[in-house]
Homo-oligomer: A and B are copies of this chain.
Amino acid sequence: MRILFVNPNSTASMTAKIEAAALSVANPATEIIAVNPEETPASIEGHYDEALAVPPMLELFQGGFAAGSDAGVVACFDDPGLYAVRSITDRPVLGVCEAAMLTASIVASRFSVVTTLVRAVPVIEELAHRYGMAGKCRRVRAANVPVLALETPGSGAQHRVQAEVERAVADDGAEAVLLGCVGMADLARTLTERVGVPVIDGVAAATRLAEALAGLGVRTSKVGGFGFPLAKAIVR
């Protein structure tokens, strides 16, 4: 089984982190492919970055599905273009925010999210609503770290994330905490041990859920919102 992760931003170190996180939980028989476009923003911080990143990301998915990928994962916590990816394939496609939230909903009755910047808060709140998880999501918190600080040793970003995770447990009644940026994927294990509740990385969660759905043989429905793109006559 082959699962294709597309990191929609152009920062290769994040793609490497995604691949590592996926491999750390994947079945040995699963092939993990993690790629990123070259011409997209270096990080996805807001709706504009999302919009620019989606078409190159879609191209990578199209190539990957044509080459036989069995499932796809949008590897950015804003899940940009997730529904568009679903439209171009009948293979199962997941977003990492979606995967993290669905997973959390199984192991905790209430959770919080710790993301990077304040501007991501309403984005993730809206995703929680879209995935039906608004009622279980206590709070989306921003650690006030730019995405790329997570790639920069000595930036202090990890300490800020950890502090915010601890506040989520202490103040929100969160029974689990979601790491709201793929750049935090490597922190999940340590933080889980430290805070005593599941700290969930969406990349790992999506890896396992993608394996699950691909193995289940379920296909993305093509009769409604995720129908294949229609051929267009050029009319001008």
Interface residues of A (CB under 8 A from B): 10-13, 25, 27, 38, 41-43, 45-52, 54-55, 58, 81, 83-84, 86-88, 92-94, 98, 102-103, 105-110, 118-119, 121-123, 126, 129-136, 146, 148, 151, 169, 173, 175-176, 196-198, 200, 204-205, 207-209, 211-213, 215-221, 223-227, 229-230, 232-236
B51 to A118, Cβ gap below 8 A?
A: no
The 8 Å CB contact of A224, one of B42, B98, B108, B215, is: B108
Q: How many monomers of this protein are in the complex?
A: 6
Which residues of B are found within 8 Å of A218, using beta-carbon distances? 103, 107, 198, 200, 205
Which 10 pairs show the lowest CB-CB distances between chains A and B? A132-B132, A208-B212, A109-B225, A122-B225, A175-B221, A175-B224, A51-B84, A212-B212, A109-B122, A47-B83
Report the nearest B residue to A101, measured CB to CB.
B132
14 cross-chain CB contacts under 8 A: A25-B217, A27-B27, A42-B235, A46-B229, A47-B84, A47-B87, A47-B225, A52-B58, A55-B55, A109-B225, A109-B226, A118-B224, A175-B226, A205-B216
Say whether, besides A121-B173, A208-B212, A208-B216, A46 and B132 are in contact (CB < 8 Å): no
Within 8 Å by CB of A132, from B86, B131, B217, lies B131
